[in-house]
Chains A and B, each alone.
Chain A
Amino acid sequence: DGGITQSPKYLFRKEGQNVTLSCEQNLNHDAMYWYRQDPGQGLRLIYYSQIVNDFQKGDIAEGYSVSREKKESFPLTVTSAQKNPTAFYLCASSLTGDSYEQYFGPGTRLTVT
């Protein structure tokens, strides 16, 4: 059963702690993306990766870090430097090249108190 998995669905952390969100895909997609969504808002891009061992900052990369050591995996670390980390985090993947849509995972809702 192909798709994108994100775990866990809900995550709670104390302020000042780093936390890593998991994203795995078995669609054989080269490109992977991380978005953040705040209540009542659209999605904003945090980081994206077009190929293994390479990634680029999106619009709101400050306070986040990523790695892309394997094609299937693109974990996101929310660091203590991120001022407002509480949000809904969505991972997506796609083929690269013309006319390919992005497929999204179910999301992780992070709450930091």
Chain B
Amino acid sequence: DAKTTQPPSMDCAEGRAANLPCNHSTISGNEYVYWYRQIHSQGPQYIIHGLKNNETNEMASLIITEDRKSSTLILPHATLRDTAVYYCIARYNQGGKLIFGQGTELSVKP
């Protein structure tokens, strides 16, 4: 599985868009990019994943660069409840483990 690099922490004002970057420069052609988040002392929550195309669901949007070496998770209107650690994971999608790095601690402030 490709190694991912994320900033350790970010702040965002409530109601604004939160843009969380992730570098995965060694990603291979069949590895998906997954995003999870973990609120303190709870289990991680799945947010979104993609392979090549940009993806959007009710929680967030995922923008993957054309060379697939980096991606950005966008929370369009951040709320205080979005304060959490966000993990970006590159994973070969054939029934395997998720390799969690340190993640980005997002603080949404009023």
Give A contacts to B, CB under 8 Å.
4, 31, 33, 35, 41-45, 48, 50, 58-59, 88, 90, 92, 94, 96-107, 109
Give me the interface of B with A, judged by CB distance under 8 Å.
Answer: 32, 34, 41-46, 49, 87, 93-95, 97-103
Name the one of B32, B44, B95, B99 contacting A96, with C-beta atoms under 8 angstroms.
B95
Q: Which of A50, A97, A100, A104 contacts B43 (CB 8 A)?
A: A104
Q: Are A99 and B49 in contact (CB under 8 A)?
A: yes
The answer on a CB contact under 8 Å between A105 and B43 is yes
Q: A-B pairs with the 7 shortest C-beta distances?
A: A42-B100, A104-B43, A43-B100, A101-B46, A45-B97, A96-B95, A104-B44
Distance A98 CA – B41 CA, assembled complex (angstroms): 29
Question: Cα distance A106–B41 when bound, in Å?
Answer: 8
Contact check, B97 vs A103: say whether CB atoms are below 8 A apart.
Answer: no
Complex contact B42–A107 (CB within 8 A): yes
Q: Are B103 and A42 in contact (CB under 8 A)?
A: yes
Give Cα distance in the complex from A90 to B41, angstroms: 10
Q: Which of A42, A90, A97 contacts B101 (CB 8 A)?
A: A42
